[in-house]
Structure 1
């Protein structure tokens, strides 16, 4: 089965064309080699996929005939992604929300001054050394 079809069948991508586009961009490798969308996938192949700032590591267990339901996906693949990747993503989301809530708009005058002070300090420290 083709890589793009396998990723679509196992519900990593909503459409097959989105899976093909991700492969063309180089986000997916099979057995350590950058893949093309037409690359064949066999059981025991290892797929590394970069999606949503997480490097998913998948081992192919079996080839599905068609797109499978979400409950049946584990029959066809084994997800070996380390748990630290998911915790890192959660920390990124929390850090983005900590300073400014989404939808508050442009930085205030105080925010701009703080940004300028921060960037100027870094600039002067480099010149002194």
Structure 2
């Protein structure tokens, strides 16, 4: 983010639009599809329902959203600079769905 002088502020937290991040992380084929889902109120950031595709996300945020027949819960671990290959996209998040990894803790 730029400060009053127009130069980047090194102390400012890095942020990215929610629709752009979902697209870069390859959850949706287009930013338009991601924006439609967000505008419908189907996405939560840190447990709060959002309806603005321009809502900023940053590292550490937890996103909850439907994808097909599943409800995805992911934690943002990095902000992308481009929409790269799938391996690059998978480095942007940690999947918190217990069905995808180890057994849930009891």
**TM-score bracket, shorter-length normalisation:** 0.7 to 0.9
Structure 2 runs not aligned, ≥5 long: 1-15, 101-106
Checking the alignment, whether the CA contact within 8 Å between 1:27 and 1:51 is kept in structure 2 is no
Backbone CA RMSD of aligned residues: 1.2
2:41 is the counterpart of 1:26: yes
Q: How does 1:107-126 map to 2 (within 5 A)?
A: none
Q: After the TM superposition, which segments of 4 or more aligned residues of structure 1 sit over 4 Å from their partners?
A: none
Checking the alignment, whether the CA contact within 8 Å between 2:76 and 2:94 is kept in structure 1 is yes
- Counterpart among 38, 43, 61 of residue 45 in structure 1: 61
Compute the TM-score of the two structures, normalised by the length of structure 2: 0.75
2:37 is the counterpart of 1:15: no
Give SS of 2:60's match. coil
Compute the TM-score of the two structures, normalised by the length of structure 1: 0.62
Higher relative contact order (CA 8 A, sep 6+): 2
Equivalent pairs, count: 84
Give SS of 1:73's match. helix
Distance (Å, rounded) in 2 between the aligned partners of 1:48 and 1:21: 15
More helix by share: 1
Rg comparison, structure with higher value = 1
More strand by share: 2
Structure 1 runs not aligned, ≥5 long: 85-129
How far did residue 73 of structure 1 move?
A: 1.8
Give SS of 1:7's match. helix
Checking the alignment, whether the CA contact within 8 Å between 1:59 and 1:78 is kept in structure 2 is yes
